[in-house]
Amino acid sequence: MDNNLIFPFLKELELVDSTVDVNEAIPLLAAEWNQLKGELETLYRNRDQKTTLDGMKKGIGLYIQFLYLSNDRQGKDLESFDSLEIKPVNLEERLVFILSRPNLFHSYRQLSELMMEQEKLYAKKNILKKRLSQKG
């Protein structure tokens, strides 16, 4: 996927400072997503498309930042998705769908699923890392 599609969403966010520990930044992103998720559900229920678009842009940016942070990369150092170790299946196709139609409720559902899958993959990565450090 062309990173030029991603940069507009990241510019609208206050990215996590590169000096902040990833283990501190990710819970902050998750908390912000959970708050935004509730707001988006209300907006979609009320069919408020203008405000929904703004919220989806923020949500997409949060996800992309979480994706890179969970792979131990800072959001400002964007690389190809191919280089990322932990990512959901069919990430590029799913993101293209979301980016091309952010106002659709299905895009919101897909973004929610991506966030949930990434959280699970990140937790699995941390568990495996912990087990390896205990054995070694």
C-alpha span between 92 and 118 (Å, rounded): 14
The enclosing H or E element of 84 equals none
What tens digit of pLDDT does each residue of 38-63 get?
A: 999 999 999 888 889 999 999 998 99
As a whole-number percent, the residues of the chain with pLDDT over 90 amount to: 59
Show the tokens assigned to 75. Answer: 């959001």
The DSSP secondary structure of 13-63, one letter per residue, reads: S-PPPTTS-HHHHHHHHHHHHHHHHHHHHHHHHHT-HHHHHHHHHHHHHHH
